[in-house]
Amino acid sequence: MQTLQDKVAIITGGGTGIGKAACLDFARNGAHVVVIGNVEADAKQTAGEVRALGREGVAMVADVTDAGEMRNIAAKVIEKFGRIDILVTSAGVMGDRTFLVNTTDEGWCKTMDVNLNGTFYCVKAVLPQMMEQKSGRIITISSISGKLPAAMNADYSASKHAVIGMTKALAIELGLLGLNGITANSVCPGSVDTPMISEITEHMRGLTGEDPEMFIQERIASKNLQQRLLEPEEIAGMITYLASDIARGITGQAINVCAGTVLF
Nearest-CA neighbor of 36 among 119, 106, 135? 119
| Beta carbons of 13 and 39 less than 8 angstroms apart | no
Nearest-CA neighbor of 234 among 183, 184, 193? 193
CA distances 237 to 124, 178, 193, Å, are 25, 28, 15
Provide the residue type at 3 as one letter.
T
Dihedral pair phi/psi, residue 42, rounded to 5°: -65, -45
Output the CA torsion sign for 6, 254, 247, 229.
positive
Nearest-CA neighbor of 59 among 83, 77, 78? 77
| Beta carbons of 38 and 12 less than 8 angstroms apart | no
Is 241 one of the annotated active-site residues of the chain? no
- Indicate the pairing of strand 57-61 with strand 254-257: unpaired
What is the C-alpha separation between 259 and 222, in angstroms, rounded?
10
What is the C-alpha separation between 123 and 74, in angstroms, rounded?
10
Instruction: Kindly name the residue from 120, 121, 156, 215 that is annotated as catalytic.
Output: 156
Q: Which residues have C-beta within 8 Å of that of residue 143, sequence separation ≥ 6?
A: 156, 157, 160, 188, 189
Nearest-CA neighbor of 167 among 130, 132, 119, 125? 119
Catalytic residues: 156
